[in-house]
């Protein structure tokens, strides 16, 4: 059961009176501070109408006293089959109990009730066909609300225990509206649009979802490379106009075999791209700072280079790093000038990794042969953006991980993580400050 507090009240129990009348013994209890404002435990009442083996994620005070050794007793509430009253306090050291004004052993009284159908809000306005897929993966015991495009984020999450988000921004004022939130679950691994610090202040963990991303993105990288190398858009459009450019396209068409695939970042997706590139008989160059991932590069026969050397040698440069202050505009006028004039740039990671104005200049001048982009500095891409006018660019609307297969895998992982938190356990893949 997912349990939330109905109201708080101060306790008047004296430090020597022991548990209040009707308190039950806790046969099994576990607790942890997954944030400074949350304690999780499970319990089994010895009598009364409460169901057995329930779990709770409980917000607690941020005071130093209550952060140390929370003390919990529980009793069933009269007439409420799923009601529970919890006494949350701390163990008082013997020297404090012996003082002239000993502190109360009970710090708070929390009255709670089980939420029969915890509410999950999916923040992305999606077509009915996509919503049907999401609902088909829903576990039992939860209620799902999919936000309408006209619905304010604050209104959508006001009554939610859980939020699943992909690209919708979650600034501090929006998070503050979610008074009941137990988890903000990202559908992917990017969380730069969520104010994680604001969530942490509210005691709400933020988690990411690595599942369902790797294969789709890796395949999309190869799709973009081949589309640029073979002038696919021009070949298709000219044929539809009645032109037959059997010979005209050959001087600007290339094979991936024998080329150098340069990967800036060698995490899960970078490695998956490398393996697919090797199947096409391309060699792998990689720029990676993490020692364990450097070992992975060497293990598959790749060559580790500095980013400067990689840009100077690679026929294809594909970006696979997170967006941070250090990586913002990692591709700029200076780095573009270091690339081969025959090279192709691929970005399926985060749009702001690339200075788009500098990229447009390089593509127009012939300083760079082509580009394949699935992400942009501002999304949706404005209708008057100069990238849309360039014939040597292939553009897709942030769909590299947008397959039905990936959506199913992501929803299964997201809902499983929500189930963990509803059951009193900390989420997997939490974001840390």
Whether residue 415 is predicted with pLDDT greater than 80 in this model: the reply is yes
User: What does DSSP assign to residue 264?
Assistant: E
Structure-model confidence comparison of residues 112 and 151, the more confident one? 151
Q: Note whether 419 and 148 are within 8 A (CB).
A: no
For 33, 71, 91, 96, 237, the CA distances from 106, given in Å and listed in that order, are 19, 8, 9, 14, 74
Catalytic residue among 13, 111, 398, 420: 398
- Rounded CA separation 335/349 (Å): 17
Residues in a beta bridge with 59 = 38
In this prediction, residue 423 carries a pLDDT of: 86
- Rounded CA separation 64/45 (Å): 29
Locate 27 and state its tokens. Answer: 């046969």
Q: Note whether 170 and 160 are within 8 A (CB).
A: no
Please report, rounded to a whole number, the percentage of residues in the chain having pLDDT higher than 70.
Answer: 73
Catalytic (active site) residue 398: yes
Q: Note whether 310 and 317 are within 8 A (CB).
A: yes
For 360-406, the DSSP string reads HHHHHHTSS-EEEES--SSSSPPTT-GGGG-TTEEE-SS-TT-SHHH
Q: Note whether 396 and 157 are within 8 A (CB).
A: no
pLDDT one-digit tens code per residue, 149-195: 999 999 999 999 999 999 999 999 999 999 999 999 999 999 999 99
Whether residue 58 is predicted with pLDDT greater than 60 in this model: the reply is no
Q: Note whether 252 and 230 are within 8 A (CB).
A: no
- Rounded CA separation 374/398 (Å): 5
Exposure string over 211-225, b if 16+ CB within 10 A, otherwise e = bbbbbbbbbbbbbbb
For 85-113, the DSSP string reads EEEEEEPPPHHHHTSSSPPPSEEEEEEEE
Tokens 């009284």 map to which residue? 109
Structure-model confidence comparison of residues 87 and 31, the more confident one? 87
pLDDT one-digit tens code per residue, 230-271: 999 999 999 999 999 999 999 999 999 999 999 999 999 999
The helix (H) or strand (E) run that includes residue 235 is: helix 232-240
Q: Confidence class of residue 433 from pLDDT cuts 50, 70 and 90? A: confident
Catalytic (active site) residue 350: yes
Catalytic residue among 38, 108, 186, 350: 350
Catalytic residue among 69, 248, 281, 379: 379
Residue ranges of the alpha helices (H) in 3-127? 64-67, 94-97
Catalytic (active site) residue 379: yes
Residue range 21-47: mean pLDDT, rounded: 33
Full-model pTM:
0.76
In this prediction, residue 100 carries a pLDDT of: 58
| Strand spans (E) along 225-282 | 260-264
Q: What is the overall mean pLDDT for the chain?
A: 82
| Strand spans (E) along 194-337 | 206-207, 260-264, 283-287, 303-304, 316-319
């Amino acid at each position: 059961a997912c349990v939330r507090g109905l109201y708080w009240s101060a306790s008047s129990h004296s430090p020597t009176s022991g548990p209040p009348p009707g308190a039950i013994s806790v046969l099994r209890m576990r607790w942890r501070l997954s944030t400074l404002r949350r304690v999780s435990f499970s319990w089994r009442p010895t009598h009364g109408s409460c169901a057995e083996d329930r779990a709770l994620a409980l917000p607690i005070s941020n005071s130093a006293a209550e952060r140390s050794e929370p003390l919990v007793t529980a009793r069933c509430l009269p007439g409420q089959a799923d009601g529970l009253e919890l006494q949350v306090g701390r163990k008082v050291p013997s020297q404090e109990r012996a003082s002239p004004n000993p502190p109360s052993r009970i710090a708070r009284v929390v009255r709670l009730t089980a939420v029969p159908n915890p509410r999950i809000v999916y923040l992305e306005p999606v077509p009915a066909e996509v919503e049907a897929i999401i609902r088909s993966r829903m576990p039992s015991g939860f209620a799902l609300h999919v936000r309408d495009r006209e619905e304010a984020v604050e209104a959508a999450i006001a009554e939610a225990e859980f939020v699943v988000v992909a690209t919708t921004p979650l600034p501090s004022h929006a998070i503050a509206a979610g008074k009941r939130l137990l988890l903000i679950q990202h559908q992917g691994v990017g969380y730069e649009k969520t104010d994680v610090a604001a969530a942490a202040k509210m005691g709400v963990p933020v988690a990411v979802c690595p599942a369902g991303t790797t294969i789709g993105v890796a395949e999309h990288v190869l799709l973009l490379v081949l589309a640029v190398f073979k002038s696919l858009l021009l070949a298709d459009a000219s044929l539809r106009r009645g032109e037959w450019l059997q010979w005209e396209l050959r001087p600007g068409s290339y094979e991936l075999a024998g080329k150098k695939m340069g990967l800036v970042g060698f995490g899960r997706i970078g490695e998956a791209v490398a393996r697919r590139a090797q199947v096409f008989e391309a060699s792998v160059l990689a720029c990676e700072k993490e020692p364990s991932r450097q070992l992975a590069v060497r293990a598959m026969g790749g060559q580790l280079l500095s980013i400067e050397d990689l840009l100077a040698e690679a026929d294809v440069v594909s970006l696979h790093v997170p967006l941070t202050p250090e990586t913002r505009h990692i591709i700029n006028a200076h780095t573009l000038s270091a690339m081969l004039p025959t090279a192709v740039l691929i970005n399926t990671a985060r749009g702001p990794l690339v200075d788009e104005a500098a990229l447009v200049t390089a593509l127009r001048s012939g300083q760079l042969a082509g580009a394949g982009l699935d992400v942009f500095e501002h999304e949706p891409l404005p209708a008057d953006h100069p990238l849309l006018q360039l014939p040597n660019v292939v553009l897709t609307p942030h769909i590299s991980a947008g397959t039905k297969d990936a959506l199913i895998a992501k929803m299964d992982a997201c809902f499983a993580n929500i189930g963990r938190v509803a059951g009193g356990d900390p989420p997997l893949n939490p974001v840390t400050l």
